[in-house]
């Protein structure tokens, strides 16, 4: 912390009264080593407290006044005359009032520091929330634009139901554009692949059966929308999705065929 930050934080006042934690004391003393001029600030604070203790004598509530008197009466002086007690009574009450005043000052400083901490925390949380909202807004806009595009007459929706023997609840949809030979795969109905595995999409000719790999659904778990774009698709008669080792396979693992659907004319 800089000299100005140390002074503004109120740590020096708490340092003078011994109200800091060990870590805060170390922070203040490190700052003093770096900038010895802080010693002057500490001496000024000490002088202010002493002056306050000598001048404050009236702002004590009746309850606190009786409490102070009760505590003082418990003290048994070793050698003092009645006149000495009378002369010192004003000083003692001034000190007692100053102690109460110091307590109020320190409480206000602590409350101020706590409020600053809460404010910094709130600002941080607001920044995180703002970034999240902005990020979600961008993603929502992109998905909305994508949905408007694939719902156009240029795209044909091809349903890929699940393979009963492998994953009967799985499903996917291919939105295929015959003019551009590109497709969007909606893989929301596929389970997250296990570690070391990846979904591979195949374009199929049915007679004779000729599969051609057209892409991998990589970063599946991290892709929230589960929409994947695939380009340069050879003229297909069907689409299939299999689960393959990471990096994909040259030919489909038919025992891991999750979904399959034909392209209708």
Task: Encode pLDDT of 248-261 as tens digits.
Answer: 999 999 999 999 99
pLDDT single digits (tens) 75-84: 444 444 444 4
Give residue 160's Cα distance to chain centre: 40
User: What is the model's pLDDT at position 117?
Assistant: 60
Is the pLDDT higher at 38 or at 255? 255
Provide the pLDDT for residue 62. Answer: 61
Instruction: Name the nearest CA neighbour of 8 among 118, 112, 120.
Output: 112
The overall average pLDDT reported for the chain is 75
pLDDT tens for residues 150-177?
777 888 889 999 999 999 999 999 999 8
Q: Is pLDDT above 60 for 40?
A: yes
Q: Between 38-55 and 82-150, two packed helices, what is the crossing angle to 10 degrees?
A: 130
Nearest residue to 199 (alpha-carbon basis) of 175, 171, 237, 157: 171
Helix axes 38-55, 22-34, angle to 10 degrees: 120
- CA-nearest of 200, 158, 190, 194 to 176 is 158
Report helix angle 82-150 to 62-73, nearest 10: 130
Whole-model pTM? 0.48
Which stretch of DSSP H or E encloses residue 17? Answer: helix 11-17
Which residues, other chains included, contact 154 with Cβ-Cβ below 8 Å and sequence gap of 6+? Answer: 177, 179, 180
Check residue 237 and report its DSSP letter: S
Cβ proximity of 237 and 262 under 8 Å:
yes
């Amino acid at each position: 912390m800089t000299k100005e930050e140390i002074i503004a934080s109120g740590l020096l006042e708490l340092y003078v009264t011994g109200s800091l934690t060990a870590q805060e004391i170390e922070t203040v003393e490190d700052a003093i080593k770096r900038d010895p001029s802080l010693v002057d600030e500490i001496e000024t604070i000490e002088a202010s407290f002493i002056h306050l203790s000598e001048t404050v004598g009236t702002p004590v509530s009746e309850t606190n006044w009786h409490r102070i008197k009760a505590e003082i009466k418990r003290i048994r002086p070793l050698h003092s005359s009645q006149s000495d007690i009378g002369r010192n009574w004003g000083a003692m009450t001034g000190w007692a009032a100053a102690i109460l005043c110091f307590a109020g000052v320190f409480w206000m400083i602590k409350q101020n520091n706590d409020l600053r901490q809460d404010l910094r925390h709130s600002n941080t949380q607001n920044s995180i929330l703002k970034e999240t909202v902005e990020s979600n807004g961008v993603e929502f806009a992109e998905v909305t634009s994508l949905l408007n595009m694939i719902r156009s007459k240029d795209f044909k929706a091809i349903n890929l139901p699940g393979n009963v023997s492998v994953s009967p609840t799985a499903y996917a949809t291919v939105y295929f554009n015959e003019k551009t030979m590109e497709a969007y795969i909606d893989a929301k109905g596929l389970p997250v692949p296990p570690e070391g595995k990846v979904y591979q999409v195949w374009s199929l000719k049915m007679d004779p059966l000729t599969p051609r790999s057209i892409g991998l659904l990589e970063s599946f778990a991290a892709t929230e929308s589960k929409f994947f774009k695939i380009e340069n698709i050879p003229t297909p008669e069907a689409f299939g999705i299999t689960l393959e080792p990471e990096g994909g396979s040259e030919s489909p693992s038919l025992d891991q065929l999750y979904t399959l659907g034909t392209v209708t004319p």
